[in-house]
């Protein structure tokens, strides 16, 4: 038994040492082959280096606090700088823009700031509903879902899938909520930034989904990896390069490598299906990609993830545990589930078609969301930043 | 076409009256919440402790958080031993170290503190994530958990629920300071939170607290207890005692290094996997579980006294 454990430990140790080495070597090799200037890429992957050195945690979204205060926000700073450098837009003014701590938690959004020409009253009227929606998602819903995080430790199939689904909803509520909040506040202050999330669930396939999820990072990845790789390699290789780079940016670990491979495969498969007009298969594939992708993304504990991937059946105990959660948690799960379901079901209707949360910005809906937010909010729940902190 | 002006009027009504009204109502609610905060009965419980202590002769104390408030009985220990025990445990140990130590000083100022001969300090914090210890040292809550914030301490929905469902309120302690299970419905909602912080960190925190407790009660022997809790998986039952042992050795080494002299011993309680002994959380026993845990701890204290000191 002891020898078995030792073998497993050695295997995991080797795995965790070999993966980063392998990935970094491949990247260096690829960069050398296509003779790209390495500095933007070194900057972009500086967060991967700190991840290998153990100075920062992986970006699974389940860590509540920053691991290293001196490297707080490095992932977004380095991604923004790399993008600016690559596009020859690096200037003192741009560095000033990306240093804005308000924008640190929502992605490399700061590189796209413009000044708004609207009057203050028009800005308030337009952006206030975004603030309400952001508050609802990030302050009323997301903190109440944190109580379900214990499910990450359960390795049976039902628990793993239930956790993946709830965690997907949590990340959406928290990250999209914070992004909308910053979008609204910046807008009222006269700064126009892009919508980081555009109703990602109003999609019929995974390609559409990614067009609405963390859009600023997608732009950076497109500029840094997809376009240069596409010039020299087929689309499939370019997509693989984008997803593996994105995975390593999130953290150098086994789960992210799997996540990158899985999502690039799903993207390529969807592309293939769309070319053959097999639209009916792409939606179930989207749901599968989101849930299974989140299962891989959320757990950086390699041995636990491997246990989960065996999908052992152990009854419905996690459902019972979930039903015993505080009522506020159950209410939050119900609300965010309904929110996402509306995005999916009504995506063809005019209030959802533009994918800019128009329905949720209607005055009557805003008022209801504000009442719900203020009725659910409390200090004990705290707040929960997912990304920028690392 | 006639519907459009009507919609405009409704929208104006929402923007100019409904939303400002909701915001003003929220501000008034936050002020109400701050001024009338009672922590689901925590404030009243603290006041009851103060009045109990004034009228009782006590020479032994149970200190700690909710684990010892719900799961240890001063009444049982008083019946079993020659000491007069009082359970002065507070929920979350008063939320910060500063709050709890200040509270103990206030309650046992002057000569009264010298009457205390023995203290059981049952703390769960070394068995939890590091952030909880950090929060104890830097948190800004008062002793009942009230925080200053633009958010209320309890959501509006929780206030409504509490006003309907009185079972949510914590009952007042009895004359021994013990939790009154007759006025509380135990509904298990917790889960396993046993994620021990590294002993090098928890021993520094524990040493600081033990120095404070010893300075308030100079003649007391402090028995630090690593409390038992429920485990789903029987394979994990050994974890708590092993961790307590490691913590004891780390603390002893630290005391030696810093030349600190604290009159203490340590007991690591074995955990259990009997769900019928639980109240609302995995480290909160119910009335039956309290008898079980108190009896076990008492037996361990007697055994430790015979062996002079546990783990040495």
Domain extent for A323: 1-390
Say yes or no: B14 contacts chain A, CB-CB below 8 A. Answer: yes
Query: Quick one: how far is CA B61 from the chain centroid?
Result: 15
Residue B3 confidence class, pLDDT cut points 50, 70, 90? low
The residue of chain B with its CA nearest to that of A368 is B19
What distance in Å separates residue A332's CA from the closest CA in chain B? Answer: 12
3-state secondary structure of A373: helix
Average pLDDT, chain A: 85
What distance in Å separates residue B188's CA from the closest CA in chain A? Answer: 8
CB count, 10 Å around CB of B222?
A: 22
User: Following DSSP, what letter does each residue of B61-111 receive, concatenated?
Assistant: EEEESHHHHHH--HHHHHHHSSS-EEE---GGGGSSHHHHHHHHHHHT-GG
pLDDT tens, B27-45? Answer: 999 999 888 888 888 999 9
What is the average pLDDT across A336-363? 96
SS3 letters for A255-318? HHHHHHHHHHHHHHHHHHHHHCCCHHHHHHHHHHHHHHHHHHHHCCCHHHHHHHHCCCCECEHH
% of chain B with per-residue pLDDT over 90:
56
**Is the separation of the CB atoms in B269 and B241 below 8 Å?**
yes
**Is the separation of the CB atoms in B22 and A367 below 8 Å?**
yes
**Is the separation of the CB atoms in A236 and A268 below 8 Å?**
yes
Say yes or no: A65 contacts chain B, CB-CB below 8 A. Answer: yes
User: Following DSSP, what letter does each residue of A152-220 receive, concatenated?
Assistant: GG--SHHHHHHHHHHHHHHHIIIIIHHHHHHHHHHHHHTEE---S---TTS-SSHHHHHHHSSHHHHHH
- What kind and span of H or E run contains B279? strand B278-281
Nearest-CB residue to B155 (from A125, A370, A377): A377
**Is the separation of the CB atoms in A329 and A381 below 8 Å?**
no
* pLDDT value of residue A22: 60
Average pLDDT, chain B: 88
Instruction: Look at residue A239 and tell me whether its pLDDT is greater than 60.
Output: yes
Instruction: Look at residue B57 and tell me whether its pLDDT is greater than 80.
Output: yes
Longest Cα–Cα distance of chain A, Å, equals: 72
Which residues are registered as beta bridge partners of B265?
B223
**Is the separation of the CB atoms in A196 and A90 below 8 Å?**
no
% of chain B with per-residue pLDDT over 70:
92
Say yes or no: A328 contacts chain B, CB-CB below 8 A. Answer: yes
Find chain A residues with C-beta within 8 A of B151's C-beta: 139, 377-379
Q: What is the DSSP pairing of strand B284-285 with strand B278-281?
A: antiparallel
Choice among A77-86, A193-202, A220-229, A327-336 with the minimum mean pLDDT: A77-86
For chains A and B, count residue pairs whose Cβ atoms are closer than 8 Å.
63
Residue A2 confidence class, pLDDT cut points 50, 70, 90? very low
- What kind and span of H or E run contains B5? helix B3-13
What is the average pLDDT across A130-136? 97
Choice among A123-137, B49-63, B188-202 with the minimum mean pLDDT: B188-202
Count, in order, helices (H) and strands (E) of chain A. Answer: 20, 2
Say yes or no: B17 contacts chain A, CB-CB below 8 A. Answer: no
Q: Do A328 and B131 touch (CB under 8 A)?
A: no
Q: Do B14 and A367 touch (CB under 8 A)?
A: yes
* pLDDT value of residue A140: 94
Find chain A residues with C-beta within 8 A of B191's C-beta: 150, 321
**Is the separation of the CB atoms in A318 and A151 below 8 Å?**
yes
Instruction: Look at residue A3 and tell me whether its pLDDT is greater than 50.
Output: no
Number of domains in chain A: 1
* pLDDT value of residue A1: 40
What distance in Å separates residue B247's CA from the closest CA in chain A? Answer: 24
Q: Do B14 and A366 touch (CB under 8 A)?
A: yes
- What kind and span of H or E run contains A74? helix A74-86
What is the average pLDDT across A174-182? 92
Choice among A3-7, A58-62, A83-87 with the minimum mean pLDDT: A3-7
Find chain A residues with C-beta within 8 A of B152's C-beta: 377-379
pLDDT tens, A15-67? Answer: 655 565 565 556 555 655 655 678 888 889 988 888 888 888 787 776 655 56
Instruction: Look at residue A5 and tell me whether its pLDDT is greater than 50.
Output: no
ipTM over 0.85: no
Instruction: Look at residue B233 and tell me whether its pLDDT is greater than 80.
Output: no
Burial A301-329 (b: 16+ CB within 10 A, else e): bbebbbbbbeeeeeeeebeebbeebeebb
Nearest-CB residue to B22 (from A324, A374, A379): A374
DSSP 8-class letter at B212: H
Say yes or no: A325 contacts chain B, CB-CB below 8 A. Answer: yes
Choice among A28-37, A130-139, A161-170 with the minimum mean pLDDT: A28-37
| CA within 13 Å, CB half, A28 | 6
Q: What's the rounded Cα separation, in Å, for the pair A385 and A66?
A: 9
**Is the separation of the CB atoms in A282 and A274 below 8 Å?**
yes
Could you say which residues from 37 to 76 on chain B have a Cβ atom under 8 Å away from some Cβ of chain A? Answer: none
Residue B312 confidence class, pLDDT cut points 50, 70, 90? very low
pLDDT tens, A316-331? Answer: 888 888 888 888 999 9
What distance in Å separates residue B61's CA from the closest CA in chain A? Answer: 30
Instruction: Look at residue A388 and tell me whether its pLDDT is greater than 60.
Output: no
Residue A209 confidence class, pLDDT cut points 50, 70, 90? very high
Say yes or no: B191 contacts chain A, CB-CB below 8 A. Answer: yes
What is the average pLDDT across A362-386? 84
Structure tokens at A109: 């959004």
Q: Do A367 and B147 touch (CB under 8 A)?
A: no
Query: Quick one: how far is CA B101 from the chain centroid?
Result: 13
Instruction: Look at residue A9 and tell me whether its pLDDT is greater than 70.
Output: no
Instruction: Look at residue A12 and tell me whether its pLDDT is greater than 90.
Output: no
Q: Do B14 and A321 touch (CB under 8 A)?
A: no
Handedness of CA B116, B118, B124, B126 (dihedral sign): positive
The residue of chain A with its CA nearest to that of B17 is A367
Choice among A87-91, B135-139, B277-281 with the minimum mean pLDDT: A87-91
**Is the separation of the CB atoms in A56 and A247 below 8 Å?**
no
Say yes or no: B188 contacts chain A, CB-CB below 8 A. Answer: yes
């Amino acid at each position: 038994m002891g020898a078995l454990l030792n073998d497993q430990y050695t295997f995991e140790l080797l795995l965790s040492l070999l993966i980063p080495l392998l990935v970094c070597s491949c990247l260096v090799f690829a960069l050398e082959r296509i003779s790209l200037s390495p500095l933007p890429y070194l900057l972009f992957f500086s967060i991967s280096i700190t991840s290998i050195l153990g100075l920062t945690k992986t970006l699974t979204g389940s860590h509540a606090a920053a691991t290293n205060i001196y490297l707080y926000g490095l992932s977004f700073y380095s991604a923004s700088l790399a993008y600016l450098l690559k596009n020859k837009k690096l200037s003192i003014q741009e560095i000033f823009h990306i240093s804005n701590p308000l924008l640190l938690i929502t992605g490399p959004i700061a590189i796209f700031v413009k000044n708004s020409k609207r009057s203050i009253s028009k800005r308030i009227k337009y952006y206030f509903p975004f603030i309400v929606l952001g508050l609802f998602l990030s302050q009323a819903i997301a903190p109440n879902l944190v109580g379900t995080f214990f499910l990450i430790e359960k390795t049976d199939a039902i628990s793993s899938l239930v956790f993946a689904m709830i965690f997907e909803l949590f990340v959406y509520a928290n990250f999209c909520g914070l992004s909308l909040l910053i979008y609204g506040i910046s807008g009222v202050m006269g700064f126009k930034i892009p919508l980081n999330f555009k109703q990602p669930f109003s999609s019929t396939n995974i390609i559409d989904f990614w067009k609405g999820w963390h859009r600023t990072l997608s732009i950076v990845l497109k500029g840094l990896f997809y376009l240069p790789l596409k010039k020299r390699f087929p689309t499939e290789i370019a997509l693989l390069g984008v997803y593996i780079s994105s995975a390593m940016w999130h953290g150098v670990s086994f789960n992210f490598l799997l996540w990158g491979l899985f999502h690039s495969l799903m993207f390529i498969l969807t592309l293939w299906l769309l070319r053959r007009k097999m639209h009916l298969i792409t939606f179930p594939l989207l749901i599968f990609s989101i849930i299974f992708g989140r299962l891989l993304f959320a757990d950086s504990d390699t041995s636990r993830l491997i246990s989960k991937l065996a999908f052992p059946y152990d009854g419905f105990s996690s459902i019972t545990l979930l039903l015993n959660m505080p009522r506020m948690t159950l209410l939050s799960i119900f609300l965010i589930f309904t929110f996402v379901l509306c995005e999916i079901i009504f995506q063809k209707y005019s209030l959802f078609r533009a994918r800019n949360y128009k329905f949720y910005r209607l005055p009557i809906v805003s008022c209801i969301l504000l009442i719900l937010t203020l009725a659910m909010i409390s200090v004990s729940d705290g707040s929960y930043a997912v990304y920028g902190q690392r | 076409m006639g519907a459009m002006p009507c919609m405009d009027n409704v929208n104006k009504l929402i923007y100019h009256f409904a939303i400002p009204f909701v915001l003003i109502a929220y501000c008034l609610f936050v002020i109400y919440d701050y001024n009338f905060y009672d922590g689901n009965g925590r404030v009243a419980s603290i006041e009851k402790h103060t009045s109990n202590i004034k009228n009782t002769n006590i020479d032994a104390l149970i200190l700690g958080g909710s684990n010892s408030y719900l799961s240890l009985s001063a009444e049982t220990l008083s019946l079993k031993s020659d000491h007069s025990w009082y359970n002065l445990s507070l929920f979350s140990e008063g939320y910060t170290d500063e709050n709890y130590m200040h509270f103990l000083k206030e309650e046992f100022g002057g000569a009264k503190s010298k009457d205390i001969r023995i203290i059981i300090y049952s703390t769960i914090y070394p068995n939890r994530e590091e952030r909880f210890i950090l929060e104890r040292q830097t948190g800004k809550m008062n002793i009942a958990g009230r925080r200053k914030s633009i958010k209320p301490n309890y959501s509006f929905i929780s206030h409504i629920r509490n006003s309907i469902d009185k079972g949510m309120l914590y009952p007042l302690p009895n004359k021994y300071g013990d939790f009154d299970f007759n006025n509380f419905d135990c509904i298990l909602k917790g889960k396993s939170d046993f994620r021990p912080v590294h002993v090098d960190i928890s021993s520094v925190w524990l040493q600081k607290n033990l120095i404070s407790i010893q300075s308030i009660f100079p003649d007391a022997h402090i028995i630090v207890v690593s409390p038992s809790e429920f485990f789903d998986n029987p394979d994990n039952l050994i974890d708590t005692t092993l961790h307590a042992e490691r913590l004891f050795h780390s603390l002893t080494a630290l005391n030696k290094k810093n030349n600190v002299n604290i009159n203490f011993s340590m007991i690591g309680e074995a955990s259990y996997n009997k769900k019928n002994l639980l109240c609302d959380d995995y480290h909160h026993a119910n009335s039956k579980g309290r008898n079980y845990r108190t009896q076990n701890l008492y037996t361990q204290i007697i055994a430790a006294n015979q062996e002079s000191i546990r783990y040495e």
